[in-house]
Structure formats: C-alpha cells, structure tokens
Chains A and B, each alone.
Chain A
Amino acid sequence: SQQGEEDPQALSIQEGENATMNCSYKTSINNLQWYRQNSGRGLVHLILIRSNEREKHSGRLRVTLDTSKKSSSLLITASRAADTASYFCATDPLGAGSYQLTFGKGTKLSVIP
C-alpha cells in the first residue's frame, strides 16, 4: 500500500518562481526521502531527512519534516526549465525489519521558460 501521498499531482510554474510540493504519510518512519524522475529515466535521489530532523537544505532544495502531522514539503527555489520532472517522496517505515522504501504517486512539475 502507498505510504506517501504527494500534493499537488501536477504543478506548472514560470522559470524563476519557487515550487512547493507536499507529502503526507501514514505510519511512523525512520526517514523520508525525495527523488526526481526525468521523463523516461530512473529515479535520482535528492535529499534524505531523518525522523529527528526538522529541516534540511541542499543547494536550491529545502525539505521540512513534521512528524506530528506526518507530512513533509519540498521547496525548489528559483526554478529552472531543467527542474521539469516528476518528484516522489519515499518513506522508510519504522519497524519494517528490512529496508523497504515505499513511494508516493509523485508530483509532476513543469517549469515554463
């Protein structure tokens, strides 16, 4: 069953604007990860935030995690046309025993030049 759910399903913005995507999940987690998928390619890892962290930055990416609300957000600042892709959150459920990342359905981001 899907653990994470991204919102919105699709997002279209102008180049230079900021893009925010949200992820909600159902059970307690070890960590939450964000991945990017360009059309026709595999997923690429962007950032991992542990359950005891609240915010993490990597370049133009900012991820927040609110474990009390079971939600996370990914902010891409000063977007570029090359950021056009689908973005997925993935959760590592606490107590799963082995590493079993579960993915949401993704947010499709279009950045218009």
Chain B
Amino acid sequence: NAGVTQTPKFQVLKTGQSMTLQCAQDMNHEYMSWYRQDPGMGLRLIHYSVGAGITDQGEVPNGYNVSRSTTEDFPLRLLSAAPSQTSVYFCASSPRRSYNSPLHFGNGTRLTVT
C-alpha cells in the first residue's frame, strides 16, 4: 500500500491563480481531511469528509473548496490564491468516521503564493 499520496510536493503560485492539490489513499478509508501547517500555529483543519459525496468545513475553510466523488480521492482547490495561503498542506485519512481512530498523513505539499 502506498498510503496517502499528495501531489505536487512543491508549488509556487502568483496571487489570483487557482490550483488543485491532489490527495489519494489506497487504504479504503472512510474519513479524509485537509490541514494546513504554519510556523507557530500548529495544524489547522480546513475541510473534511466522512465518506464519498459528504464534505464539511473545518476551522479555516475560507478560500478553499473540496469534493469527494470517490472513496480514494479528496482534492483541495484554491479558488484565487492569496499570500496568506502560503503554507504546508497535509492530507490525512482514517479508517472510520468515528473517534478513537488514528490519522494517516501524506508527506505534504509546500505552497508559496507570491
């Protein structure tokens, strides 16, 4: 199993550009989520999904869209990139939507918006 795969690893965007960060998992996990990690801020939840066709907002959803058309994929779309979205983005999945289930993380996408 590859686990959670994120692409690309690095990306530079200009302000106003849009892009999609890809996340795929091959573990048949129900739950998937996106976090951003900023220096001194820890990880903050952007969006999450408890199954195909179901998504919901986390702590910092503004400026991001998600969809979950399959169990495997959970892409994160930046609609109009802003410098404040410069961050490292992590996708994570879990076997069940319920609690007491650890998260499996990808290796991140480092995004810079100029």
A residues neighboring B (CB under 8 Å): 1-2, 30-31, 33, 35, 40-45, 48, 50, 88, 90, 92, 98-106
- CB pair A31–B99 under 8 Å, yes or no, is yes
Chain B residues whose C-beta falls within 8 Å of the C-beta of A99 in the assembled complex = 31, 48, 50, 94, 97-99, 101
Chain B residues whose C-beta falls within 8 Å of the C-beta of A48 in the assembled complex = 100, 102
Chain B window 39-55, contacts with chain A (Cβ cutoff 8 Å), 1 for yes, 0 for no: 01111110010100000
Chain B residues whose C-beta falls within 8 Å of the C-beta of A41 in the assembled complex = 107-108
User: Residue B34 at the A interface, CB < 8 A?
Assistant: no
- How many A-B residue pairs have C-beta atoms within 8 angstroms? Tell me: 67
Known interface pairs A2-B42, A99-B94. Does A50 touch B100 (Cβ–Cβ under 8 Å)?
Answer: yes
Contact of A98 among B90, B92, B97 (CB under 8 A): B97
A sample of 27 cross-chain residue pairs with beta-carbon separation below 8 angstroms, ordered by A number, consists of A2-B41, A30-B99, A30-B100, A35-B103, A35-B105, A40-B107, A42-B4, A42-B92, A42-B107, A45-B103, A45-B104, A90-B103, A98-B48, A98-B50, A98-B56, A98-B97, A99-B50, A99-B94, A99-B97, A99-B99, A99-B101, A101-B103, A102-B45, A102-B59, A103-B35, A103-B42, A103-B43
Chain A residues whose C-beta falls within 8 Å of the C-beta of B75 in the assembled complex = none
Give min CB distance, A38 to chain B, whole Å: 10
Chain B residues whose C-beta falls within 8 Å of the C-beta of A90 in the assembled complex = 103
Q: In the complex, what distance in Å separates the CA atom of A45 from the CA atom of B105?
A: 9
Known interface pairs A30-B99, A31-B99, A43-B90. Does A105 touch B105 (Cβ–Cβ under 8 Å)?
Answer: no
- CB pair A105–B42 under 8 Å, yes or no, is yes
Contact of A1 among B43, B59, B108 (CB under 8 A): B59
Nearest CB to that of A97 among chain B residues?
B56
Nearest CB to that of B91 among chain A residues?
A42
- CB pair B45–A43 under 8 Å, yes or no, is no
Known interface pairs A30-B100, A42-B108, A45-B104. Does A101 touch B42 (Cβ–Cβ under 8 Å)?
Answer: no
Nearest 5 pairs of A and B residues by beta carbon: A42-B105, A45-B102, A105-B42, A103-B43, A30-B99
Contact of A33 among B41, B102, B106, B108 (CB under 8 A): B102
